[in-house]
Structure 1
Amino acid sequence: VVVLPDTGLPASEGATGKKRGRKALPENLPRERVEYDLPDDQKACPCCRHQMHRMGEAVTEQLHIEVKAKVLQNVRFKYACRHCDRTGINTPVVTAPMPAQPLPGSIATASTLAFALVHKYVDGTPLYRLAQAFERAGVPVSRGALGHWMIGSSEKHLARIYDVLKLRLRSQPLIHGDETTVQVLKEMDREATSTSYMWAYRSGHDSDEPIVLLDYQPGRGQIHPQTFLGDYRGIVMSDGYSAWRTLEG
């Protein structure tokens, strides 16, 4: 052991190298054992040919993601009265009800809608590519049907979440605002070359739970910030676009 002389300087911490190798898979994921054993004719010792005993196991882990499509058959039992059938004029038939469906009349369950919405709006997957993914899985779903799923989910469910977030945003003391032009290819009574606007609003950076909302408008014909913000009395931080200067209060 080499003893270094005392220099009077504070001891320096040695450089710690980073641990190499891949990160362990999350502990909260379920585990499924897939066991591999030697054939019986290979359990003899290759040296003395006596029978070997199992002394342990070597375990490695792999990430397995499997997406399966299945069909849920909603079976609603029907009931009728035999007495009324024999003696009455009318025989009432009572059918067991189903729970409320996210999109009545649609083949999509809540899980399927969530799958499509995440791919469209979180991962940015165009609907035609999502339709191709369904096709590869053996489930033909047209791009038009996917569009109806997006619109129906927005109108029936996501709009309510949007309205609640809008109320919370308007309760903040500071709101950031900005706008940008967008082009909508197919919109009723408008040409594909028409210019539309997407207005963006965000709560202040010191907010514990930041809120970001987008508001689509087909043009500049109205005071769009005032339409979205209503009677907001806080501070709006924006650029020099003249529409922001028309805010009241």
Structure 2
Amino acid sequence: IPAKVKVIENIRLKYSCQHCEKSGTQPNIKQASVPSSPIPKGYATPSLLSQIITSKYQYALPLYRQETMFKQHGIEISRRTMSDWMMKCGALFKPLHQRLREIQLSQPVIQADETTVKVINDERAKSYIWVYCSGADSPASSNVAFKGIPIMRNIVLFDYQNGSRSGACPLKFLGDFNGYLQTDGYAAYQKVNAELVGCWAHARRKFIEAQT
């Protein structure tokens, strides 16, 4: 069964006092309020926005491809419009991101890494996405503790930096975090206040390289 896209039409009735109109009195006009929307004065429903966000960030489906997919359903939504929606949704998610960051920074252990990301129409040679992870090895673990401190469920947060891979990036994100920070040994992490610990996967890699 093919996916379906439906247009929801909201009819806002407007009422006025006929007696006031006939008598020349200023009528008191009442109109139904606009249904609440994640984006003020926008026509995108929460389900549509979640569909676009999930397709783009979870399944790496670019907006121009989603634009083509919507056209196959007879719906005209430009990538420029969807891009504007994504930026406005990003503003909506800031309180959630901030709360998750507060919880993450209260954890005893955080893993960090960074990787390059290509940005269209950006003059910089490279931009970077920094990732910060906390939690147990399994999302189902609820009674895991590190040195007596309970470990919360997994949290993964991303921090985009314009062309920068300096130590100021993790220092700005981590702030006064003084727990254990597990990294790949990149020198930029030495500027943070955390206690640095190594990564067994990277250590194992050196033994494999030496063996081969």
Between Structure 1 and Structure 2, the one with more helix by share is 2
How many angstroms does 1:68 deviate by? Answer: 1.4
- Identity within the alignment, %: 38
How many angstroms does 1:73 deviate by? Answer: 1.0
- Higher Rg: 1
| Residue matched to 1:70 | 6
The answer on 1:245 being equivalent to 2:181 is: no
The answer on 1:234 being equivalent to 2:179 is: yes
The answer on 1:131 being equivalent to 2:67 is: yes
- Could you tell me which amino acid in structure 1 is paired with residue 161 of structure 2? Q
How many angstroms does 1:246 deviate by? Answer: 0.8
Calculate the aligned-residue CA RMSD, in Å: 1.9
Figure out how many residues of one structure are paired with residues of the other and give that number. 180
How many angstroms does 1:220 deviate by? Answer: 4.0
Question: 1:199-245: per-residue Cα shift (whole Å, max 9, x none)?
Answer: 11000435451111110011246611121112212111112222211
Which residue of the other structure, out of 153, 161, 168, is the alignment partner of 2:96? Answer: 161
8 A contact 2:135–2:152 mirrored in 1: no
**Matched residue SS, 2:102:** helix
The answer on 1:114 being equivalent to 2:50 is: yes
Larger RCO, structure (CA 8 Å, separation 6 or more) = 2
Between Structure 1 and Structure 2, the one with more strand by share is 2
**Matched residue SS, 1:198:** strand
- Could you tell me which amino acid in structure 1 is paired with residue 89 of structure 2? S
TM-score of the superposed pair, with normalisation by structure 1: 0.66
| Structure 1 runs of 4+ with >4 Å offset | none
Give the unaligned 5+ runs of structure 1.
1-64
- Could you tell me which amino acid in structure 2 is paired with residue 203 of structure 1? S
Alignment of 1:79-98 (within 5 A): 79-98=15-34
TM-score of the superposed pair, with normalisation by structure 2: 0.77
- Could you tell me which amino acid in structure 2 is paired with residue 209 of structure 1? R
| Residue matched to 1:145 | 81
- Could you tell me which amino acid in structure 2 is paired with residue 94 of structure 1? K
Alignment of 1:2-81 (within 5 A): 65-81=1-17
Give the unaligned 5+ runs of structure 2.
138-150, 195-212
8 A contact 2:37–2:44 mirrored in 1: no
